[in-house]
Amino acid sequence: MTAPEARILAVDGRALAADSRVLLIGYGNPARGDDGLGPALAAAVAGLDLEGVTVETDYQLHVEHAADAAEHDVVIFADADVEGAGPFRFRRLEPRSELSFTSHSVSPAGVLGLAQQLFSARNSGYVLGIRGHAFGEFAEGLSEEARRNLSGALAFIETVLRTRSFPEAAHPDEPVLAPG
């Protein structure tokens, strides 16, 4: 394997080719200040025009996202983080079957769980939580701290997307599960 496009990386005990399909979903409400960090990251990643990377934005996750997730090898959910200690956290996501959900909102783990249950998807999931500080009722734009955190998260995720180094980049001690 001498060509970069033939490089294989291990994800979930299976091979992941460098040309794997990646879905990044940035979600949150840009009209609520730093809650718009997910869509802001998604817009920035879309501007990179990376091969094999599909970018979507939404105000919240829906059951319909499971169909989109099922068509990709890796799914990254980007959202504002209200409690993170650092500027951002990248953590592995474990799929979860949610017994109760509404058609209005589903957790990232629930989206992956539905993709597996409904479409027999065998993909990996990650959450990129970007630390926000100002979540106003109606405040367009990001705070200065959030813009700095977004910049760091963008540099990080660009490297991860280009190298397809998802498992290596994820924090090993913090798998993300849906609230139980």
pLDDT attached to residue 178: 39
Close Cβ partners of 83 (under 8 Å, ≥ 6 residues apart): none
Task: Extract the tokens encoding 13.
Answer: 């005990």
**pLDDT of 68 strictly over 80:** yes
**Cα separations in angstroms, 143 against 35, 62, 101:** 10, 27, 32
DSSP secondary structure string for all residues of the chain: --SGGG-EEEETTEEEETT--EEEEEES-TTBGGGGHHHHHHHHHHHH--TTEEEEEESS--TTHHHHHHT-SEEEEEEEESS-SSSEEEEEE-----SS-BTTB--HHHHHHHHHHHH----EEEEEEEE-----SSB-S--HHHHHHHHHHHHHHHHHHHHT-HHHHSEEEEEE----
Domains along the chain with CATH numbers? 20-170 (3.40.50.1450)
Residues 121, 90, 153: CA angle, nearest 5 degrees: 120
Which pTM does this prediction carry? 0.86
Kindly report, residue by residue over 93-138, the tens digit of the pLDDT. Answer: 988 876 555 555 799 999 999 999 999 999 999 999 999 999 877 8
Amino acid in position 179? P
Which of 51-65, 127-141, 149-163 is predicted least confidently? 127-141
**Residue 78 banded pLDDT, cuts 50, 70, 90:** very high
Kindly report, residue by residue over 156-178, the tens digit of the pLDDT. Answer: 999 999 999 888 888 766 544 43
CB contact burial 27-42 (16+ within 10 A = b; e otherwise): bbbbebbbbbbbbbbb
Which of 58-67, 81-90, 111-120 is predicted least confidently? 81-90
**pLDDT of 90 strictly over 70:** yes
Burial class (CB within 10 angstroms; exposed 0-12, middle 13-18, buried 19+) of 179: exposed
Q: What percent of the chain has pLDDT over 90?
A: 66
pLDDT attached to residue 70: 96
**Residue 180 banded pLDDT, cuts 50, 70, 90:** very low
Sign of the CA dihedral with 117 first, then 121, 122, and 127 last: negative
Average pLDDT, the chain: 85
Q: Strand 88-93 to strand 124-131: parallel, antiparallel, or no bridges (unpaired)?
A: antiparallel
pLDDT attached to residue 13: 46
